[in-house]
Amino acid sequence: MTAYAPIERTTSRGATADRIFNVVTVGAAWLVLIVLLGAAASMAWGGRLAFQTFGLKFITSSDWDAVGGQFGALVPIYGTLVTSAIALIIAVPVSIGIALFLTEIAPRWTRGPIGIAIELLAAIPSIIYGMWGLFVFAPVMASDVEPWVNDHLGQWPIVGPLFSGPPIGIGMLTAGIVLGIMIIPFIAAVARDVFNQVPPPLKESAIALGSTRWEVLNRVSLPYARSAIIGAIFLGLGRALGETMAVTFVLGNAHDLSVSLLMPSNSIAAAIANEFTEADTDLYRSSLIALAFLLFIVTVIVLSFAKLLLMRINRTHGRTH
Amino acid sequence: MNKALLLLPVAALLASCGSSHSGNSAGSSGNEITGAGSTFVYPVLSAWAEDYRTQAGVKVNYQSIGSGGGISQVEAGTVDFGATDQPLSPGDLAKNNLAQFPVIVGGIVPVVNIADMTPGKLKLTGPILADIYQGKVKTWNDPEIVKANPGVSLPAAQITPVHRSDGSGTTFNFTHYLSQVSPAWKSGPGEGKTVSWVGGVGGKGNEGVANYVKQIPNSIGYVEYAYVIQNKMTYALVQNAAGNYVSPSADSFSAAAASADWANAKDFDLVMTNAPGAQAYPITASTFVLLPKQPKDKAKSDAAIAFFKFALEKGQPQANKLDYVPLPDTVVKQIETYIGQNVK
């Protein structure tokens, strides 16, 4: 009987705390949605003049002429997608390799230092990658890599045009590689944590069945971690799509549409950063904001595609996690 | 969650876009004046501001946010003066009740990266420069260039033209010059703070162009004179309107400023590229200051006028030290008369 009062007090105090906690978390979740929709809406509103003036031509035209008042986003969209694709092609295998090495192969005492080194790499500001790209990497590309690429890959059928052009060291290939190096630590750090989550009994069972190390990695660790790894890759991709400073240093910032990866191009984020300060007509400013809106749309499309892909994989391979 | 993370940079960018137009509201007395605009004039303006603060006790706050931003802020009245590399037309000035005058002169110099080339050895005419930037002259041993450079060995290498990727007064003055000397340029890309370039590579800021030219073999770019001096770059000579190849220097910029017809330019609306003087450097530019004709705060406007009077009359040593060129005395006199007549 006497024990009731304190119990009631505890429950009522707990209920208040619960409600506050509930409100806070719901608020935080809604804030994300509000920020998302608010940003999209304000960009669409800011870019309405460009969309009204050019219509669908804004996306399909490669004209970018501030004097003549003609704006088309094809070159920046193309440059953004191509550089990010190159970045992923480089970063994904390397990052997964790093993560597997760190969790499965590396001697235990090296894991800590290498892990910290990866996290430090992730903390380097992107402008440092850009400056390194321009001062160190671009000259190497111009003097050694691109002439070789020109002479060898440039002669191949079909893909040849991708790899032939003047070896100036500045262009989509250089930008893609710098971006790739930049996003490696992001993907590797998450992938390492994910591989660490693979339950030891699973791996031990595989070993007990006579699996080699490669079979354990390929058949147990990778499938177990698949969905989280794809999440990590798309985190890296998101960074690559929106990266500004590292890209603007080595991409060449030219509004030219060219097939060759050795040629300069432009990206959405770089175009906005470069041109916003002196965008002195309403149409020009509106076109840059419309570009930002398109970056948003491109990102949403890419991420939705990733989610679909993930669902597809999970359906065909069965849920593993 | 991922989506939200991806959006953060976009949201931050939007926030920064918003704030770049709101500006700083200036202090409340004549002891502090605020200006905004051209990045070109920023180093010398801040040197003058420092001198003026120690001598007159007035603090000059200058935000180098770009000419476009400077114009819109002075029109909105959020700053006491604006600075622009591209002069406004008398019509635009009248519409916003602004006065305009030049404060400093600078030169825009083509720089090249050609093996074994020494500064000042390569000679270019205006039309050649326009043809290079239009992609019509593709290699350094093009007959047009060879004709202008007898006895100079030129490589059979492809030219990579480097331009500014950001909108800039430097580009405005450079393309204004090309429009003067090449009809094809005038009807093609035209003039502006950013134009539709044909090919080539874009660098952000003078330092971006300077670095691209240094990194890319057989490239050509155009930068402010100070960057040529400070980075010891290989510059090319450009033929002026009188037919002479004049080295970029304080003297040749002054000669251009002196030979320009300021007296007949209403509100100093004059871009002095392709100036007629025999010793005038052909791609000479100036930065203009904008002041409200009927200021809301008289004390601040007077303080701003006093500051620019100080800068124009006593600022020459600082300007020279930073590789800018002060305006000739005759032009300074015209400016002071103009301010007296126009700013109440």
What confidence score (pLDDT) does residue A9 get? 52
Cα–Cα distance for residue pair B220/B191, rounded to 1 Å: 19
What confidence score (pLDDT) does residue B17 get? 41
Tell if the CB–CB gap between A256 and B189 is shorter than 8 Å: no
Using a CB–CB cutoff of 8 Å, tell me whether A242 touches chain B. Answer: yes
What confidence score (pLDDT) does residue B20 get? 38
Angle between helical axes of B2-22 and A222-242 (0-180°, round to 10): 10
What confidence score (pLDDT) does residue B200 get? 87
Q: What is the pLDDT of residues B65-81, one digit of tens each?
A: 888 888 888 988 899 99
Among the ranges given (A317-321, B141-145, B283-287), the one the predictor scored with the smallest mean pLDDT: A317-321
What confidence score (pLDDT) does residue B23 get? 37
Strand (E) or helix (H) holding B32 = strand B32-37
When pLDDT is averaged across residues A259-275 and rounded to a whole number, the result is: 90
pLDDT at residue B13 tops 70: no
- On the 0-12 / 13-18 / 19+ scale of CB atoms within 10 A, A305 is exposed
Strand (E) or helix (H) holding A45 = helix A4-46
pLDDT at residue A133 tops 90: yes
What confidence score (pLDDT) does residue A149 get? 86
Q: How confident is residue B344, by pLDDT bands cut at 50, 70 and 90?
A: confident
pLDDT at residue A128 tops 50: yes
Nearest to A170, CA basis, from B211, B300, B185, B270: B211
Residue B50: CB atoms within 10 A of its CB come to: 13
Q: What is the pLDDT of residues B126-155, one digit of tens each?
A: 999 999 999 999 999 999 999 999 989 999
Q: How confident is residue A231, by pLDDT bands cut at 50, 70 and 90?
A: confident
The angle at the Cα of B201, spanning B160 to A50, to the nearest 5 degrees, equals 145
Q: What is the pLDDT of residues A69-101, one digit of tens each?
A: 889 999 999 999 999 999 999 999 999 999 988
pLDDT at residue A6 tops 60: no
Tell if the CB–CB gap between A39 and B11 is shorter than 8 Å: yes
When pLDDT is averaged across residues B264-288 and rounded to a whole number, the result is: 90
**ipTM metric:** 0.71
What confidence score (pLDDT) does residue B129 get? 95
Q: How confident is residue B16, by pLDDT bands cut at 50, 70 and 90?
A: very low
Residue A21: CB atoms within 10 A of its CB come to: 10
In the predicted model, what is the mean pLDDT of chain B?
86
| Cα of B161 to nearest chain A Cα, Å | 11
* Distant-in-sequence, close-in-space partners of B51: CB < 8 Å, separation ≥ 6: B310, B314, B315, B318
Strand (E) or helix (H) holding A7 = helix A4-46
Give exposure, A64-79, as e/b (b: 16+ Cβ within 10 Å).
bbbeeebbbbbbbbbb
Q: What is the pLDDT of residues A28-63, one digit of tens each?
A: 999 999 999 999 999 999 999 999 999 999 999 888
Strand (E) or helix (H) holding A281 = none
* Distant-in-sequence, close-in-space partners of B99: CB < 8 Å, separation ≥ 6: B93, B267, B290, B291, B292, B293, B338, B339, B342, B343
Using a CB–CB cutoff of 8 Å, tell me whether A17 touches chain B. Answer: no
Tell if the CB–CB gap between B71 and A66 is shorter than 8 Å: no
pTM over 0.80: no
B162, B165, B172: which to substitute to probe chain A, counting the most A Cβ within 10 Å? B165
Looking at chain B from residue 175 to 234, which residues have their Cβ under 8 Å from any Cβ of chain A?
A: 189-197, 199-204, 208, 211-212, 215-217, 219
Q: How confident is residue A8, by pLDDT bands cut at 50, 70 and 90?
A: low
